[in-house]
Amino acid sequence: MKALFTLGLSEAAERLARGEITSEALTASCIRRIAAVEPRVQAWEWLDDTRALRLARSVDERRRAVREGGNAGAVDIALLPERGSLSGIPIGVKDIIETAGIRTGMGSPIYGEYVPRRDAPLLDRLAASGAFVLGKTVATEFAFMVPGKTRNPWNPDHSPGGSSSGSAAAVASGMVPGAIGTQTTGSVIRPAAYCGVVGYKPDKGLVSTEGMLPFSTTLDQPGVFARSVADAGLLASWLTQADGVISRQITELRSAPSVIALNSPVWHKADPAMRQRFAADLAAVRAGGATVTERELPPAFDDGFRAHRTIMLYEAARASKVVRQHHGLHLSRFLREALEEGDGIADEDYRRALVLRERLIESLGEFLDDRHEAILTPPTTGEAPALESTGDPAFCTLWSLCGVPAITIPTGFGPQRLPLGLQIVGRAGESNHLLGVAAWCESRMGFKGMLARV
């Protein structure tokens, strides 16, 4: 019998609902896995085993009370199979998301003693699913690009990506079946691809950003990590501000999709291994019956990268002004210089960047016309780099700028035996449909539920 820590989110939820396993047993298995691999991976910023096991036992006791007919107040647990509840599932949470009574460090010593009084609203939504916070996962400094302590589970000499480093690595190494992260440029998609898991960022605005460290309010977007598209969809479905926006059960499309294969405008940054992997992925979806049209974005999108950086650093500089006044010496030089660049951005340049963003959102909708369901493109420039870098987010920038849904699935390995993936980008307002497209693609790749051999 396979160890419980290897269970994906959906399978664990189903087995809990049927009474085949307990939350305490699942959580204990995850804790043992953490003890075995955390010294090598270093994915966690805060973890309390005793608290986690206490929360798991509480779920088990409530479930037993329902089955014995003695607790009408726990009726939500009686509806587990129908509602797709995550009751009793431990989840990792990126350490820039506020957790009541739990230290939230923002990847910086400045916040080393900060303990929020309340949970971020997205965690209120998580609690409504019955899941609980297992621990806080490592984030890079202020969720920007300076590497943290986390290592890639496939090879500790390589980066897990950033800024949701710990969330991606924890899921990839079997420490937790699902985790929550955030993305401003490529901080969900990139680490998921580097670590060989599914990373999913729904439409901007579907999941609340309140209670998250603000870096760029225009661009900040929560996302999730899991080991399959269905698991990512299940977790995301509970985090949305409105119920029913994302289905609890994600299934692949009944018919092959029509998609756009996109190389430009940063194709020159893709290394040979990524180019070969992308060609193989396109061949796989074509063999499955998908209609694949190769196109390039309109030239206006070339200016999107500068617009993204302008918006991001302008807003980050102003959001961090008070912190820098009092604690500037505790910031890394790299972050300090980026924020100083933001200080120098004129109001008029910022406003022009926002106007361009709106135009590009409209143009992307026209590009993804009624004949195409999604864009296929690389998620990264190649395999995970060495530890000195969190990697180049160029293949994610435009999708974060436009706020459209995006997902990456693992599809193979590069020459260093590190994971490579395929990014699938959807039309605005079609976060749920994108999951169906991704599930269809996933079934043609053969890497569902992959665990790093730590």
> Annotated catalytic sites, by residue?
94, 163, 187
What are the residue ranges of helices labelled H in 242-346?
272-287, 304-319, 321-327, 333-343
Peptide linkage before 85 cis (omega within 30 of 0): no
Q: Starting at the edge strand that comes first in sequence, how are the strands of the sheet with 419-426 ordered?
A: 44-47, 132-137, 90-94, 179-183, 221-226, 198-201, 406-413, 419-426, 374-377, 258-262, 291-295
Q: Are 188 and 200 in contact (CB under 8 A)?
A: yes
CA dihedral over 239, 243, 245, 248, signed as positive or negative = positive
Peptide linkage before 265 cis (omega within 30 of 0): yes
How far apart are the C-alpha atoms of 20 and 321, rounded to whole Å? Answer: 52
Q: Are 252 and 440 in contact (CB under 8 A)?
A: yes
Burial of 390 (0-12, 13-18, 19+ CB in 10 A): buried
Other CB atoms within a 10 A radius of the CB of residue 328 amount to 13
Structure tokens belonging to residue 308: 């993204």
3-state secondary structure 381-398: CCCCCECCCCCCCHHHHH
Q: What is the DSSP letter of 56?
A: H
Give Cα separations from 440 to 46, 126, 288, 405, 448 (angstroms). 36, 27, 9, 16, 12
Give Cα separations from 428 to 235, 369, 425 (angstroms). 20, 11, 9
Show Cβ contacts of residue 105 under 8 Å, excluding neighbours closer than 6 positions: 45, 46, 95, 111, 112, 114, 136, 139
How far apart are the C-alpha atoms of 334 and 162, rounded to whole Å? Answer: 15
Give Cα separations from 282 to 195, 249, 274, 422 (angstroms). 21, 26, 12, 9
Q: How many residues are there in the chain?
A: 454
